Structure 1
Amino acid sequence: MLEEQLVGLAFSVAATLGGGWWGLRRLAQARHLLDTPTSKIRSAAQGYAEFYGVLAAQAGTAIAGPLTGKPCLWWRYSIEEYQSDDKTRSWRPIESGSSEAWLLLDDGTGQCLINPRGAEVRPATREVWRGNLRHPRGPQPAGWAGLFSAGKNYRYSEERLHAGQPLYAIGDFRSSGGGRQGLDLATAQSAVIRQWKGDFAGLLQRFDGDGNGQLDEQEWNRVRLAAQLEAEDRHRQQSVQPARHHMAAPQASQPFILSCAGEDELARSFYWQAAAGACLCLGGALATAWLLGVGTF
């Protein structure tokens, strides 16, 4: 009896903590989505940003879903195996994976490359079917063949993003080239000096005027001046290059989301999930209080 009460108490405490954490997390994410203004790629400020646009194909890239073989821009898949015994029956995950190919978002004012690593991706296209092979030989059978899936031991799921689909993206936005980056001269100068120190023999050959194998204070001043001029020249060359925009996972705890659904639909879904987390937390707290009240520990 005591062991059963301890197990029940452990589950109730876990439900309280897990539900509370999930509810607060989803609530904070919904607020981030609603509080972040939608920007245009061409004029967006650097940092955390939100875009609406259309997925575009990139030249020279050919990606296909690993289970269906259908062409796409991004994929995620899972394979489950059906297991049963005298007491339980369930689908057990045995394999999964997702694409790390960069995506190209076009909002009409510019294009932004997106690194999907670490993102919560919500595609509009999802296929689920069953079969008797661990790895299916192509997509789900069409017509009557696809109806008779009972008794098959494997269940497959594949999600994809395709060119031309709308995409909502929120994450860390950075630009390079196009004269958009300011010059932090001290940082750029230090970077040039560190690079030169990697070839110290070459550094001595350029700046060791007296040939004693060392750099004195006057020679180091020449190194610093040359590095400053080099940093300024590199910045000028980079500024005349066409602007390139990138989005990736933010450093802070802000959400990084790529979704075919819009902001309002996402926020509404997050609010419902936050409410479910709050209910789980409340139910777990009530169960914990009841077990502590009636149990004998």
Structure 2
Amino acid sequence: MDTGHLLGLACAVGATTGGAWWCLRRLGEARHLLDTPTSKIRSAAQGYVEFYGVLREQANTAIVAPLTGKPCLWWRFRIEEYQASGKSHSWRLVDSGSSEGWLLLDDGTGSCLIDPRGAQVRPTTREVWRGNLRHPRGPARSGWAAWFSAGKRYRYSEERLHAGQPLYAIGAFRSSGGGRQGLDVGAAQSEVIGQWKGDFAGLLQRFDSDGNGRLDEQEWNRVRLAAQLEAEDRHRQHSQQPAQHHMGRPGEAQPFILSSAGEDELARHFYWQAAGGAVLCLAGALATAWLLGVTRL
């Protein structure tokens, strides 16, 4: 088999494998969205959940989009440079980024803080425009800098989430405070004892009743009883605090999605992408079979 046929075969196998992987992934994500019932923040069970709500501003938090300078709650941007060589031309990515500030979702029954890191964020607000500056908000160039940058073209894109916009969120949910956590007495007791051992001199001062510089079995029993009482008191105080809800990236292979569109629209989009992956897989398989037949391997 010559080099051309080997390269073609490698591309065909890659298309088959990649198409199959993409199809199965998008089908799995669509099923997760449709099979997960919508929950209310106030009564949601701990674990993998989905919410519908509205984005709210947080106190003492001011976020400004980097390319437009517009206030928002979350942003993502891309800066590309136009490159041409002969008859070929393309846009080359020169800079990109996204914000990592937490979002506040309100569904009428409660509020939930969302860590967007690792999420598929799909906002509806998107702006695309072009210019001749490396950064659209950068200072105008003059002198030699202007001469060297003459003729350069850039394409900018910026996506944003704003306060008051609807948001669909699916991910790992957890709550603290509000009496929602049970007490693991053994683990909590061990944690308190571990903290006390960090100041062993203080531990001896409190529990070494005979002053011999060590703790015997009876004195250790007193330590364990005092640590249990301390752990129970800490848990009681923590339970009296208002409940705080958080969502973040699931630990398992489950989708983490934040979207301005609802689950039905997202599922349709994923099904179309899965169909595209299936077509690519089929085309790659047919090409692979044809190349193997031509080369008689």
Are positions 1:268 and 2:287 aligned together?
no
Partner SS for 1:108: coil
Q: Extract unaligned runs of 5+ from structure 1.
A: 139-150
Q: Which residue of 2 aligns with 1:232?
A: 232
- Give matches, 1:93-112, under 5 Å: 93-112=93-112
Inter-partner Cα distance in structure 2 for 1:62 and 1:157 = 21
Q: 1:89 to 1:191 in 2, by over 3 A?
A: same
For residue 214 of structure 1, report the CA deviation from its aligned partner: 2.9
CA deviation string 1:232-257 (max 9, x = no partner): 11110011111111101111111100
Confirm or deny: 8 A CA contact 2:113 2:246 kept in the other structure.
yes
Aligned position for 1:35: 35
Q: Which runs of 5+ in 2 are unaligned?
A: 139-150
Partner of 1:129: 129
**TM-score (norm. length: structure 1):** 0.92
Post-superposition offset of 1:226 = 1.4
Q: What do you get for the CA RMSD once the two structures are aligned? A: 1.5
Structure 2 distance, partners of 1:63, 1:21, is 37
Tell me by how many angstroms 1:268 deviates.
0.6
- Once the 2 structures are TM-superposed, how far is the Cα of residue 204 of structure 1 from its aligned partner? 2.7
Q: Distance in 2 between matches of 1:69 and 1:200?
A: 55
Distance across 1 between alignment mates of 2:256 and 2:135: 31
Distance 2:272 2:198 in 1: 55
Instruction: Determine whether 1:287 maps to 2:287.
Output: yes
The 2-side partners of 1:277 and 1:60 are apart by 45
Q: Which residue number in structure 2 is paired with residue 194 of structure 1?
A: 194
Q: What's the offset of the Cα at 1:296?
A: 5.9
Secondary structure at the counterpart of residue 37 of structure 1: coil
Closer/same/farther in 2, CA of residues 241 and 290 from structure 1, 3 Å limit: same
C-alpha separation between the residues in 2 aligned to 1:254 and 1:200? Answer: 45
* Shift in Å, 1:94: 1.2
> Where does residue 144 of structure 1 map in the other structure?
none
Give the whole-Å Cα distance in 2 for the aligned partners of 1:2 and 1:160.
Answer: 50
State the SS of the aligned residue for 2:188.
Answer: helix
- Secondary structure (helix, strand or coil) at the match of 2:218 reads helix
User: Structure 1 residue 209: deviation in Å?
Assistant: 2.8
Large movers: runs of 4+ above 6 Å: none
Q: What are the residue-to-residue correspondences of 1:1-297 with 2, within 5 Å?
A: 2-137=2-137, 153-295=153-295
Give the SS at the match of 2:219: helix
Q: Which moved more, 1:166-175 or 1:283-292?
A: 283-292
Cα deviation, residue 197, structure 1: 2.4
Moved more, 155-164 or 129-138: 129-138
Q: C-alpha displacement at 1:16, in angstroms?
A: 1.0
- Matches of 1:41 and 1:89, distance apart in 2: 50
**Distance in 1 (alpha carbons) for counterparts of 2:94 and 2:4:** 31
How much does 1:152 deviate? 5.4
Deviation at 1:272, TM superposition (A): 0.7
Native 8 Å contact 1:2 1:296 kept in 2: no
Aligned-partner SS, 1:66: coil
- Looking at structure 1, the residues matched to 14 and 206 of structure 2 have their Cα atoms a distance apart, in angstroms, of 65
User: Which secondary structure does the structure 2 equivalent of 1:283 belong to?
Assistant: helix
1:64-105 per-residue CA deviation (whole Å, 9 max, x = no partner) reads 001110000000111111111125211111111110000000
Distance 1:270 1:97 in 2: 24
* Residue identity opposite 2:39 in structure 1: S
Task: Between 1-10 and 249-258, report the one with greater CA deviation.
Answer: 1-10
Q: How many residues get paired?
A: 285
Alpha-carbon shift at residue 288 of structure 1 (Å): 1.1
Distance 1:213 1:8 in 2: 78
Give 1:165 shift. Answer: 0.2
- Paired with 2:287 and 2:25, the residues of 1 have a C-alpha distance of 23
Q: Distance in 2 between matches of 1:84 and 1:201?
A: 73
One-letter identity of the residue aligned with 2:191? A
* SS at 2:157 equivalent: strand
